[in-house]
Every structure is written in structure tokens, then in C-alpha cells.
């Protein structure tokens, strides 16, 4: 029987990276990340800071973008399609039957000159959404907008009246049909 060596190598890599950070005598997550980057060790950060409770993409924390800006290094955006279905938040392990999870790698992104962490973080978030939704549509999976819509309807059922879910569904359906108008409202162009 063939056995994969990847888990052993993965643990070895993690221990090596942790040892390098400890050797640098740094404190806090940012200090360890900086120490690893200065030693040219790639790091993997999840900018949402937690697993989704609903499948919806949460807000990105600006830490990864700030590290990229301060070290003048690229960020490789990665989208996980099917991760919520395979291992929902609150479950102690992945779902039986091994639902497929697609790992989608985008092109490396550099911060623009003068761009601050929140701006770069938002640009990264939009790229992750694009990567996710393009792949989700190709495989017949839920897009991030569909996860958000489902969450909004569930909240309306919980906290609203009997007609609230239909109202919310109608509003969200109208917004989904007019993404350019929504984008223009959310990101007005300076005059």
C-alpha cells in the first residue's frame, strides 16, 4: 500500500518555520510573520481570521495586505470552493463522502504605489470573490452572493414577519440583476 509523505513533510515544514520564528526572538503574530518573511519563508494567512459560519465570505482583516506593503512582496490570492460544504464551521471534522474542495490560485498581486492596507485588502477580497465565483459556476456550486442571499433570507425568517423573507428575496434578486448599479452605489467615482 502506498502512503503519502505529504503530511509528514507538512509537519516538518511547519516546525521549521516555527523554529525560525522562535529563533528570531519576536513577539506576537505580526512579529513572527515579519521574521519569516525576512528569512524568505512563504507564509499562509487567512484574511477572514475565521471559518465562515454560513458559507458567506467575511470581511478581510488588513494584516496580510499590511505585511505585503511593508515588505514590498506579492500576495497570491487563493479561493476555496466547496470548503464550507465539506467542513462547516462548528463541525469537528469534514463531512463524510469527501465533498470536493477546489483550490483556485490567482495571479500574484502587488500593492499599488501609495495604496494603504485597507485598499489593498479590499482589492484582494474582490479578486478572491472573482476566483471563487468563476469556479463555483463552472462546477455548479453556490457563488458567494448566493451564500449571502441564503443567510439574509434565514435572518429574515428568524427576526422578521411572515412576508419578510419574500421581501428580502425580492430585493436581493433585484440587486443581483443589476450588479453595475450596486457597484456604482457602493464605490462612487469622484467628480
Per-residue pLDDT band for 190 (boundaries 50, 70, 90) equals low
- Reported as half-sphere exposure (CB side, CA atoms, 13 A), residue 134 has a value of 12
155 occurs within a structural domain: no
123 occurs within a structural domain: yes
pLDDT exceeds cutoff 60 at 15: no
165 occurs within a structural domain: no
The 3-class secondary structure across the chain, one letter per residue, is CCCCCHHHHHHHHHHHHHHHHHHCCCCHHHHHHHHHHHCCCCCCCCCCCCCCCCCCCCCCCCHHHHHHHHHCCCECCEEEECHHHHCCCCCCCCCCCCCCCEEEECCCECCCCCCCHHHHHHHHHHHHHHHHHHHHHHCCCCCHHHHHHHHHHHHHHHHCCCCHHHHHHHHHHHHHHCHHHHHHHHCCCCC
Interval 110-133 mean pLDDT: 94
pLDDT exceeds cutoff 90 at 174: no
What residue numbers bound the domain in which 58 lies?
22-141
Instruction: Pick the most confident of 11-20, 32-41, 163-172.
Output: 32-41
Per-residue pLDDT band for 106 (boundaries 50, 70, 90) equals very high
174 occurs within a structural domain: no
111 occurs within a structural domain: yes
58 occurs within a structural domain: yes
Number of domains in the chain: 1
- Predicted pLDDT at 30: 65
pTM of this structure: 0.66
Cα torsion angle, 69, 73, 74, 75, sign: negative
158 occurs within a structural domain: no
48 occurs within a structural domain: yes
Amino acid at each position: 500500500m502506498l502512503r503519502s509523505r505529504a503530511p509528514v513533510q507538512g509537519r516538518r515544514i511547519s516546525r521549521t518555520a516555527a523554529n525560525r520564528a522562535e529563533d528570531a526572538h519576536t513577539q506576537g503574530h505580526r512579529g513572527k510573520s515579519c521574521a519569516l518573511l525576512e528569512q524568505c519563508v512563504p507564509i499562509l494567512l487567512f484574511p477572514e481570521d475565521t471559518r465562515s459560519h454560513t458559507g458567506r465570505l467575511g470581511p478581510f482583516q488588513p494584516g496580510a495586505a499590511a505585511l505585503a506593503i511593508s515588505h514590498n512582496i506579492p500576495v497570491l490570492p487563493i479561493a476555496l470552493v466547496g470548503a464550507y460544504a465539506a467542513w462547516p464551521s462548528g463541525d469537528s471534522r469534514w463531512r463524510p463522502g469527501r465533498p470536493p474542495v477546489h483550490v483556485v490560485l490567482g495571479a500574484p498581486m502587488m500593492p499599488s504605489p501609495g495604496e494603504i492596507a485597507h485598499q489593498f485588502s479590499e482589492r484582494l477580497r474582490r479578486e478572491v470573490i472573482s476566483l471563487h465565483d468563476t469556479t463555483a459556476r463552472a462546477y455548479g456550486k453556490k457563488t458567494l452572493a448566493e451564500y449571502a442571499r441564503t443567510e439574509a433570507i434565514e435572518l429574515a425568517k428568524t427576526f422578521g414577519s411572515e412576508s419578510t423573507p419574500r421581501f428580502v428575496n425580492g430585493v436581493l434578486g433585484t440587486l443581483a440583476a443589476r450588479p453595475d448599479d450596486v457597484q456604482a452605489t457602493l464605490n462612487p467615482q469622484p467628480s
